[in-house]
Amino acid sequence: MSTLVNRRTLLGSAVALPLLSACGAGSAGAGAVRFEGWDYESQLVQQNLDRFTAANADIKVAYTPITSAQYVRKIVAEFTGNNGPDVLYSYDDSMVSWVQAGYLQPLDGLPGVDEVYSGIYESNAKAMTFQGKRYGLPYYTDCHGLTYNAALLDKAGIKTPPKSLDELEQQALKVKNAGVLEYPIGLAAQLADTWSSWVWTLVYGSDAALFSDDFKPTMDKARPIFDWIHKAATVSKVIDPASLQLTPVPLDNAMMAGQYAFTIGPRYALRTYNDPAKSKQAGALKLAAVPSLDGTARGTVSSTRMYCLAAKTAVKDKAVKLLNFLGGYGSDGKPSTARFWFDQRGLGFPFRQLADDPDIRTTLAKFTDPETYTKLSAVAKPRNLLGAPWYGEYESAQQKTVQQLLTNQTDASAAVSSLSETAISLAKKYS
């Protein structure tokens, strides 16, 4: 649930769009807090909001869900027309551009914010911070790991998941040579307007970096990762060529049908993968640390979805109370909304305290290993390029370059050189 729109296009897109008024904006009357988000489980969102208004009878909330595919452009159109909501969802991809456009206000100094930031994972805190100021409270998060099919590995005589990238390739070859699967590794490698999460996962899994924190290209550190991708696709041929046409949902379906032994993907997928009502491979699909170059579990990439406060709101005090209910702690010191979303749909929680909750660990154990799940949270970090105004354009170029690696149209050295040149050119373009 993310979109990579060129930020200049993003900020100017409202010119080409009719101003779309929030369908529920006025239904609660003057003085209501307007709250907008993409349309994921809108009935559950309303159910949670009803809990808030039951405890805050003096605050009315006008909630409007927006079709996910239109969300970013519609929010931009509303803010451009001075008709933006008071509280809203934001992707980590969008936050910086919305701050720069003047749509959001920092939360520093508001009640509860310091407590939230001291209680969440570092990766989530970083994703919601720009130029030293905090702009969000967390909605949900996830990070990525290696998903493997233990039943398929067992057929090839493999008892434990790989720790290194070389071992991943060798295990995939063993599965291939045993006649279990022709292509044991599947990846969501289709060109898309969303980020190619598995690439960033492999880079951070080896504690490498594509960029420094000031957006200077450091692709040489990731060269061995690109070399592994190229080799696994074109030499050992353990990565399915059909990956170039796969997006996440078809890949999920393939994993649940037993078509792949390995993939790199988000943790939350395991909840569906191991649901007997939905998956033919329920019970066989497992989560492991991201294989690294040296076999040491070093890291992974995270994503963060957040609640933000509009820069211009006439109901700030009420909006802040709603913001704290959604993204903070209740009077009992517990993050009730984060807990609500985990209980209802298994969404990843940004609050460290929930990792030790006995009930949550019991629920996690039904579809994955709680220890592995928690360890991935602890070593995750956000893409450090999200603050660059040219991030979206770079991401598109990176996806094309990775496709060239997968199809033997380039090699790791040429890929590194090309992406470095692209980054330098984009930085000049936006300077």
Summarize pLDDT for 376-426 with one digit per residue, the tens.
999 999 999 999 999 999 999 999 999 999 999 999 999 999 999 999 999
Q: What are phi and psi of 397, to 5 degrees?
A: -65, -40
User: What six digits make up the tokens of 340?
Assistant: 């609500």
Q: Please indicate, yes or no, if residue 260 is contained in any of the structural domains.
A: yes
pTM of the model: 0.91
Residues 147 and 192 in one domain: yes
Residues 291 and 396 in one domain: yes
Is residue 298 exposed (0-12), middle (13-18) or buried (19+ Cβ within 10 Å)?
middle
Name the band, by pLDDT with cuts 50, 70 and 90, for residue 28: low
pLDDT for 223 equals 97
Domain CATH number, residue 99: 3.40.190.10
pLDDT for 17 equals 43
* Residue recorded with tokens 């992406």: 419
pLDDT for 193 equals 83
Residues 180 and 316 in one domain: no
The helix/strand/coil state of 400 is helix
Q: Please indicate, yes or no, if residue 170 is contained in any of the structural domains.
A: yes
Residues 134 and 149 in one domain: no
Residues 249 and 393 in one domain: yes
For the chain, what's the residue count?
A: 431
Share of the chain above pLDDT 90, in %: 92
Question: Mean pLDDT throughout 281-286?
Answer: 98
Is residue 152 exposed (0-12), middle (13-18) or buried (19+ Cβ within 10 Å)?
buried
CA distance 157 to 165: 19
Residues 282 and 416 in one domain: yes
Angle formed at CA 144 by CA 143 and CA 145, multiple of 5 degrees: 135
Q: Please indicate, yes or no, if residue 175 is contained in any of the structural domains.
A: yes
CA distance 388 to 345: 32
Residues 19 and 107 in one domain: yes
Cα–Cα distances in angstroms (integers) from residue 289 to residues 79, 88, 143, 258, 265, in the given order: 41, 33, 11, 21, 11
As a 3-state breakdown, the chain gives helix, strand, coil percent values, each rounded to 5, of 45, 15, 40
Name the band, by pLDDT with cuts 50, 70 and 90, for residue 266: very high
Mean pLDDT of the chain: 93
Question: Mean pLDDT throughout 343-355?
Answer: 96
Residues 351 and 410 in one domain: no
Q: Which long-range contacts (CB under 8 A, 24 or more apart) does 222-225 make?
A: 222/416, 223/412, 223/413, 223/416, 224/293, 224/412, 225/165, 225/293
CA distance 368 to 267: 9
* pLDDT at 117 exceeding the cut of 70: yes
CA distance 295 to 170: 13
* pLDDT at 22 exceeding the cut of 80: no
Q: Which of 373, 397, 419 is the last residue of a domain?
A: 373
Which residues contact residue 38 at a Cβ distance below 8 angstroms, ignoring those fewer than 6 apart?
A: 1, 65, 66, 67, 68, 71, 89
Name the band, by pLDDT with cuts 50, 70 and 90, for residue 111: very high
Identify residue 375 by its one-letter amino acid code. Answer: K
* pLDDT at 249 exceeding the cut of 70: yes
- Which range, of 19-28, 152-161, 225-234, 296-305, averages the lowest pLDDT? 19-28
Residues 250 and 360 in one domain: no
Question: Mean pLDDT throughout 47-62?
Answer: 97
Q: Please indicate, yes or no, if residue 2 is contained in any of the structural domains.
A: no
29: left (phi over 0), alpha (psi -120 to 50) or beta: left
Q: Check if the beta carbon of residue 113 is closer than 8 Å to that of residue 137.
A: yes
Name the band, by pLDDT with cuts 50, 70 and 90, for residue 215: very high
Question: Mean pLDDT throughout 185-200?
Answer: 94
pLDDT for 30 equals 76
Q: Check if the beta carbon of residue 317 is closer than 8 Å to that of residue 396.
A: no
* pLDDT at 231 exceeding the cut of 90: yes
pLDDT for 3 equals 44
User: What six digits make up the tokens of 178?
Assistant: 């045993």
The count of domains in the chain is 2
pLDDT for 227 equals 98
pLDDT for 29 equals 67
Q: Please indicate, yes or no, if residue 1 is contained in any of the structural domains.
A: no
pLDDT for 8 equals 38
Residues 114 and 150 in one domain: no
Q: Please indicate, yes or no, if residue 390 is contained in any of the structural domains.
A: yes
pLDDT for 398 equals 98
Residues 135 and 161 in one domain: no
* pLDDT at 1 exceeding the cut of 50: no
- For residue 332, the enclosing domain spans 7-140+304-373
User: How many contiguous H segments (helices) and E segments (strands) does the chain have?
Assistant: 18, 10
Q: Please indicate, yes or no, if residue 401 is contained in any of the structural domains.
A: yes
Q: Please indicate, yes or no, if residue 378 is contained in any of the structural domains.
A: no
| Neighbour tally for 245: CB within 10 Å | 12
* pLDDT at 9 exceeding the cut of 70: no
* Residue recorded with tokens 């008709």: 83
* pLDDT at 24 exceeding the cut of 70: no
Residues 267 and 401 in one domain: yes
